[in-house]
Amino acid sequence: MDGAIVRTTLALISPGILFVFGIAFVCAWLIERKRSYLLVLASACGLFALGAISQILGWPSGAGPNAIVSGALYTSAVLAAVEGILLRSGTRLGLRMDAAILIGFTLLLAYFFYVDRNLLARVYIQNFGYGIILLIAAVRLSPLADGRYVDRVLFWVLLAFALHFFPRTLLTIGLSAPADKAAFANSMFWQSLQLSLAVLGAGLALAILAAAVADVIDDLRRERDVDPLTGVLNRRGFEERASAYLRKSGKGTTSLVLCDVDHFKSINDTHGHDVGDSVLREVGRVLRKSARKGDIVGRLGGEEFAVFLPDTNAEEAYECSERLRIAIEETSFAALKGAGLLTASFGVGTFKPGEAWSSLYKRVDARLYEAKRTGRNRTIADEFSSLKVDGGRPVLDDTAR
């Protein structure tokens, strides 16, 4: 078989692989259409494949037009890939920046072909330029380095893909360009370029697909574990998060708070279930806003909520519960239309040595029932309760049990 045919066939492997990934991105988008970045990434794969085919097969004919067209396609592919990756994280370069970069690259390639014919300059403009664009994207996505495992992999693969353009170009082409087209096709630069794009390009595409799959799984898990009315975790999600923390960190001084909206049945009976739903939604918002950063907030059912307090002793748990109780008491619930304050009762407990989760829950639930029975709008804990008030603020009182 003719050597030129073999080289051409081998050169087409890289764009062929990326074209297949482009189809995979389109299929992924058809399954999850709200992820528009998948279409952008599919277009990046398609544009790169077209650029490679244009360069390898010499379409359009003529060295000048071919260099300009293939260069514009390559540049568009890199920009589309960067925009797709950034769009997944809620950021982007923007169309104006993309257009400016594309026009700038095209003008430089045209200048170093038609005015100052310099193949070496064109090689460095494209390779260093693409490396810089990808490096900017990696810097913008640097927070991913501390994220989920799949996000960390995506960040490091993107960073490696961006950085490889610099040493590969310097080491394989140096300061002198091949003398003619045949020499260029047989050069170490061209061969290493095809290999690196096939390996690292495919690796980046796989990392992005894996991240997209992880996003879908996380969305499904959120839909499964989050209460759609209040936005906090449902019972299943709450218990799974709490159990996961206990498995990882142990019980230690971990506490649990249970909360029940006072007189909720009368709210439903008097104002209707729509108003009741609005009240629960607002209670969920208040609990999320007032809880600490590491606390886990959930709705266990009906008007009952729970807050899991990691690394919190009994006194701290009581204080946290009181802060939540006061936050609800001081909130103006518009849905009630001035029909009086809304309050909630709280029960609090802290893990005892060797105690099971079910035992803690029953104990705290008993404290919650006691708070409801003894007047509502109060916290009952193992050691503290808010039965005394001084200047509008609760005072710890270990005599009220």
For the chain, give the percent of residues with pLDDT over 90: 70
Burial of 102 (0-12, 13-18, 19+ CB in 10 A): middle
Q: Mean of the pLDDT values across residues 38-66?
A: 91
Question: Any idea which of 15-19, 103-107, 214-218, 386-390 has the lowest mean pLDDT?
Answer: 386-390
pTM of the model: 0.75
Tens-place pLDDT, residues 198-228: 888 889 999 999 999 999 888 888 889 999 9
pLDDT for 187 equals 86
pLDDT for 314 equals 92
pLDDT category at 252 given cuts 50, 70, 90 is confident
pLDDT category at 354 given cuts 50, 70, 90 is confident
| Averaged pLDDT of the chain | 89
Helices assigned H by DSSP within 89-118: 95-110
Q: Mean of the pLDDT values across residues 349-360?
A: 91
pLDDT for 58 equals 83
Sign of the torsion angle spanned by Cα atoms 160, 165, 166, 170: positive
pLDDT for 198 equals 82
pLDDT category at 384 given cuts 50, 70, 90 is low
* Dist CA 178 CA 80 (whole Å): 30
pLDDT for 56 equals 82
Q: Reduce the DSSP state of residue 180 to 3 states and report it.
A: coil
Q: Mean of the pLDDT values across residues 5-30?
A: 83
Tens-place pLDDT, residues 267-297: 999 889 999 999 999 999 999 999 999 999 9
pLDDT category at 42 given cuts 50, 70, 90 is very high
pLDDT for 272 equals 92
Q: Which residues of 8-35 are buried (b: 16+ CB within 10 A; e: fewer)?
A: eeebbebbebbbebbebbbebbeeeeeb
Q: Using the predicted structure, report yes or no on whether residue 115 has a pLDDT greater than 90.
A: yes
* Dist CA 19 CA 48 (whole Å): 8
- The DSSP code for 251 is S
Supply the residues annotated as catalytic.
303
pLDDT for 158 equals 97
* Dist CA 27 CA 77 (whole Å): 19
Which residues lie below 8 Å from residue 385, measured CB to CB, with a gap of 6+? 371, 378, 379, 397, 400, 401
| Whether domain 235-397 has CATH 3.30.70.270 | yes
* Dist CA 336 CA 313 (whole Å): 36
pLDDT category at 390 given cuts 50, 70, 90 is very low
Q: Where are the domains of the chain?
A: 3-225, 235-397
Tens-place pLDDT, residues 298-309: 999 999 999 999
Are 119 and 177 in contact, with CB atoms under 8 Å apart?
A: yes
pLDDT category at 4 given cuts 50, 70, 90 is low
